[in-house]
Amino acid sequence: MSIVMTGGGTGGHLTIIKAVKEQLLDEELTYIGSTKGQDRAWFENDKQFESTHFLTTQGVVNQGVVGKVKSIFMLIKATFQARKILKEKNAKVVFCVGGFSAAPTSFAAKMLNIPLVIHEQNASIGSLNRLLRSYSTAFISSYEEESPIKAYPIKEEFFEKSRIREEIKTVIFLGGSQGAVAINKLALSLASTLKDKKIKIIHQAGEKNIENVKKEYEALGIEAEVFGFTNKLSDYMQKADFAIARSGASTLWELSAMACPTLYIPYPYAAGDHQFYNAKFLVDQDVAWIMREKEIDLEEVILILDENMKEKSKKLQNMIEKDGALQVANLLKKI
């Protein structure tokens, strides 16, 4: 069956495409993305796709008047290009994960009356997905009760390495592969206290910050496992008994699948403040903590470290469904 996948710009979107396509090994897959963002780096040479197409587009949001007009003309041109590809591929369903990369193909799908399945990664719905929701055949969100699938599409390894946390012996700081200045500062501010408590440190400082952060730890006389980008994130997460992290959707659900209690510090400039609402979804269920970047309180963080982790860890392990990617793949095949 011919399935077209679209969307991206950022790793959060593209991770969903990657997880779902790996459950569709026997299907004819096509990817349509953008020349901007990370789409090409992720999928240009991916042999599972029969073909990949990167159209010239850019986001419309947060553009000036001239930028908006330019973006709209790009979108119109790309939509007709996507329409041609969908017809050539005889597409039976389009799977959209949002982001500006997804707009042309999603609009083209509706022009051709091809079923559109949308996956929304965040608690605060992205502008494109919000616009397309009423036209979709299925709208998937792990934050909504009415969603046909509640499980988030993440790799099985995060569930396989899950364990109940009790005493905190290791803390992991996760600022993403690019790092997060606020989380780096917090980690270094906490380092001496963690050493006094005999708590080990694992720290994703960001590729550009590794050497500086290592030197800071050395100056403090503290050993820490510091890294940037990694393909072994699940191994690092498994070692940790507590995490302090950004609350992008992938990180949030991976830590949850691991049953790792976490203090989330949302990226303050995320579109629609979606990282805050992602974390709030878990905080409202009493399985996580949240702290705005501008409101970071060192003493409060230290108090959290003394709380009972076992209860939250158990709750997380019981609330997270497995096989999200497989469920989405099966839905696409069914449609």
Q: Could you tell me which residues come within 8 angstroms of residue 213 by beta carbon, excluding any fewer than 6 positions away? A: 184, 187, 188, 203, 205, 224, 226
Q: Are residues 140 and 247 in the same domain?
A: no
What residues make up the domain containing 43?
A: 2-152+323-334
Q: Are residues 95 and 107 in the same domain?
A: yes
Q: Are residues 185 and 278 in the same domain?
A: yes
Q: For the chain, what percent of residues have pLDDT higher than 90?
A: 81
Q: Are residues 99 and 80 in the same domain?
A: yes
Q: Are residues 144 and 255 in the same domain?
A: no
Give the per-residue pLDDT at 184.
96
pLDDT at 61 over 80: no
- Type of residue found at 208: K
**Is residue 30 within 8 Å of residue 56, measured between CB atoms?**
no
Q: Are residues 300 and 231 in the same domain?
A: yes
Q: Are residues 147 and 271 in the same domain?
A: no
Q: What is the CATH number of the domain that holds 35?
A: 3.40.50.2000
Confidence at 149, pLDDT banded by 50, 70, 90: very high
Q: How many domains does the chain have?
A: 2
**Average pLDDT over the chain, rounded to whole?**
93
Q: Are residues 46 and 120 in the same domain?
A: yes
Q: Are residues 193 and 254 in the same domain?
A: yes
- Provide the token pair at 223: 């050993």
Q: Are residues 96 and 205 in the same domain?
A: no
Give the per-residue pLDDT at 62.
62
CA dist 204 and 237 (Å) reads 11
Confidence at 60, pLDDT banded by 50, 70, 90: low
Q: Are residues 137 and 269 in the same domain?
A: no
Note the pLDDT tens digit of each residue in 165-198: 999 999 999 998 777 899 999 999 999 999 999 9
Q: Are residues 306 and 330 in the same domain?
A: no
Confidence at 231, pLDDT banded by 50, 70, 90: confident
Confidence at 264, pLDDT banded by 50, 70, 90: very high
> In the chain, how many H helices and how many E strands?
14, 12
pLDDT at 43 over 90: yes
